[in-house]
């Protein structure tokens, strides 16, 4: 009984934390060309990707090698914060040649998608879909 109570309390705390994180996440961009993410106490980070760049990124996402995260336990969407247990890697040069402004970010693969992540806040700022 004690273990089930502890598990129940831990589940409630996790759900509350995820609800707060989701509430703090910015709304999705309407134009599809820009992903915006805010960070606590700092100005929002704006990531601009043109339609041509998006097309090129889609073609390259299956070809580049990026470490894959097996279980990140957060929703995969722009604005979500990845846990510190997820090891981020340097963005491959094939992606940087298409979007040089990604150079200050890090990446991780989740399934057929590559997440572009702000390393200081660990927020997802852009998602490259296959």
User: Mean of the pLDDT values across residues 23-43?
Assistant: 39
| Length of the chain, in residues | 130
State the DSSP code for 28.
P
User: Mean of the pLDDT values across residues 75-97?
Assistant: 93
pTM given for the model: 0.65
User: Mean of the pLDDT values across residues 75-81?
Assistant: 92
Q: How far is CA 19 from the centre of its chain?
A: 17
For the chain, give the percent of residues with pLDDT over 70.
65
- Say how far apart CA 107 and CA 123 lie, in whole Å: 11
Count of other CB atoms within 10 angstroms of residue 124: 27
Coil/strand/helix, residue 98: coil
Q: Which residues pair with 84 in a beta bridge?
A: none
For 103-112, the pLDDT digits (tens) are 999 999 998 8
């Amino acid at each position: 009984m004690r273990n089930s109570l502890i598990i129940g309390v831990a589940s409630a705390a996790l759900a509350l934390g995820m609800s707060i994180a989701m509430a703090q996440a910015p709304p999705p961009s309407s134009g599809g060309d820009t992903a915006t993410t805010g960070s606590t106490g700092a100005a929002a980070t704006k990531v601009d990707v043109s339609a041509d760049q998006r097309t090129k990124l889609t073609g390259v996402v299956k070809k580049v090698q990026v470490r894959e995260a097996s279980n990140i336990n957060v929703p995969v969407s722009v604005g979500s914060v990845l846990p510190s247990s997820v090891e981020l890697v340097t963005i491959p040069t094939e992606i940087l040649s298409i979007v040089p402004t990604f150079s200050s970010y890090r990446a991780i693969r989740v399934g057929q998608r590559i997440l572009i992540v702000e390393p200081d806040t660990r927020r997802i700022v852009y998602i490259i879909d296959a």
